[in-house]
Structure 1
Amino acid sequence: MDGTEPRKLPRVPENLLKKRKKYQGLKAAEAKRALEEKRKLQPGKQIKFKRLETFVRNSRRKMRDDCRSRRMEVYRKKVPNLIKHKLAFVVRITDIEGVSSQVMHIVKMFRLGKIFAGVFIKLTSEAIKKLQFIEPYVAWGFPNLKSVRELIMKRGQGKVDGKKVALTDNIMIEEQLGKFGIICLEDVIHELYSVGEHFIDVNRFLCPFHLSIARHAGINRKGYLTEVGDPGHRGDAINDLIRKLN
């Protein structure tokens, strides 16, 4: 065995090696073209079809908003007396799909991103004009101390480091609002109801209140109107709506 010579590998002609290399290159290019064609033929996102009634409804809403905007420029509405009421609670109770850009801007400014979302606002002449403009989509009125307390106690949430945190810890409230002299939940309620000096800071810290509604009201139109009522200014009757949705 030791005297045997090592086995020699068969030699391949150079022209055959070139043919093999060329063939491999052609196969790689063909595979690349096939992959590109496959990507072109892959279907994209499916087209979402909308019913004709949707376009008609959205068009009518936009025309109504534009008409209201023109009327407000010509006729200056009388602003209600602000001496008695300084605080308002606004609840979005209808869909805003297809509305004008001005309505959408006001709704976003009031942070009413979702249906049945509610916020406190400070009543000024400018705020009332904006409320009158979006009245077909919201219900608003003057909350009493009991309503403010129940909303804060049951559904109050604050934004801490970009996250929603329930208002269950006075230490957290003091850390976030202590620089304004607000150190507990009762201070938050008092600042909101009295529309104090730091109302804007407290309201900015609070997240919009996401209210609930009976199951039948979201399906049945008659039940919806019975549960929520018509949009617009409610005055002191907004407290009844808060009792139903809180």
Structure 2
Amino acid sequence: MSASNATKVFAPETVLKNRKVNAEQVAQRKAERAELTKKRAETSKVIFKRAEQYLQEAIQAERALVAARREARATGNFFVEAEPKVFFVVRIKGIMKMPPKPRKVLQLLRLLQINNGVFVRVNKASLAMLQLVLPYVTFGEANLKTVRELLYKRGFAKVNGQRIPLYDNSVIENSLGKLGLICVEDIIHEIFTCGPHFKEANAFLWPFKLSNPNGGFSGRKVRNFIEGGDTGYRGDFINALVRKMN
């Protein structure tokens, strides 16, 4: 029998269907990857523009502040600094001999461990809470550099009760994208300026776990900062402390 007259062998119908399905799935995955790549490229452009815009806003605000100070000095007037909108609060003492009320306040502030730090919006309620835990914490106004370093070095997100590192902007976009927050720079800007979505952005961040400061504390945790100790309000000096602990 010649080769041309040989019986042809056909593949089973199930094999042909599987091949078709596999080919469709491969094509679909390729299309999804292409769409994802395109979306990421567009998002990167938006993030870059926002970061540039935030930088320009910070520079303009700093220049306006310097100009106002110079004008007040030149005219012989006093320049009154703006009231702080956000404090960075660090817990520096344990729970030994701690009354129930301060312990509860520390829980509400999410300061569950020594060297934990959180951002707190400054208002009447938060000031009253800080007054109750004054012997156990220190706080002040964090500048833009400190906020940025905290998020990039120690920033973790709280997603479904899990502590997730901020390794990708998609973590932020998936949780806060509906609020217009899609990247780390958005979170930094929202926290530093105490923006309209400060509450959501702050709740999204896991409390910062800092280290003991280089060189240690002054050793006077029973005294207030203005008395040469470590606790209580320390204004701009909180930035130097955070850098030692970051």
What's the % identity of the aligned pairs? 43
- Separation (CA, whole Å) in 2 of partners of 1:82 and 1:97: 38
- Could you tell me how far 1:221 is from its partner in structure 2? 4.9
- Separation (CA, whole Å) in 1 of partners of 2:239 and 2:203: 22
Alignment partner of 1:88: what SS? strand
RMSD: 2.6
- Could you tell me how far 1:215 is from its partner in structure 2? 8.2
- Could you tell me how far 1:84 is from its partner in structure 2? 2.2
Check whether the contact 1:211–1:245 (CA below 8 A) recurs between aligned residues.
yes
Residue matched to 2:236: 236
Letter in 2 for 1:186: E
Evaluate the alpha carbon distance shift between residue 178 and residue 82 of structure 1 in structure 2; reply closer, same or farther with a 3 A threshold.
farther
- Separation (CA, whole Å) in 2 of partners of 1:98 and 1:119: 23
Letter in 1 for 2:87: A
Q: Where does 1:67-216 land on structure 2 (aligned, <5 Å)?
A: 83-213=82-212
Which 5+ residue runs of structure 2 have no aligned equivalent? 1-79
Alignment partner of 1:173: what SS? helix
- Could you tell me how far 1:193 is from its partner in structure 2? 0.4
Letter in 2 for 1:99: M
Letter in 2 for 1:232: G
Residue matched to 1:245: 245
- Could you tell me how far 1:99 is from its partner in structure 2? 1.2
Check whether the contact 1:140–1:235 (CA below 8 A) recurs between aligned residues.
yes
- Could you tell me how far 1:125 is from its partner in structure 2? 1.5
Letter in 2 for 1:132: Q
Higher Cα Rg, which structure: 1
The superposition leaves residues 163-201 of structure 1 with CA deviations (integer Å, 9 ceiling, x where unpaired) of: 111112011110011011000110010000011111111
Alignment partner of 1:94: what SS? coil
The superposition leaves residues 11-44 of structure 1 with CA deviations (integer Å, 9 ceiling, x where unpaired) of: xxxxxxxxxxxxxxxxxxxxxxxxxxxxxxxxxx
Which 5+ residue runs of structure 1 have no aligned equivalent? 1-80
Check whether the contact 2:213–2:241 (CA below 8 A) recurs between aligned residues.
no
Letter in 2 for 1:126: A
Letter in 1 for 2:83: K
- Separation (CA, whole Å) in 1 of partners of 2:82 and 2:136: 26
Letter in 1 for 2:90: V
Evaluate the alpha carbon distance shift between residue 130 and residue 82 of structure 1 in structure 2; reply closer, same or farther with a 3 A threshold.
farther
- Separation (CA, whole Å) in 2 of partners of 1:126 and 1:96: 23
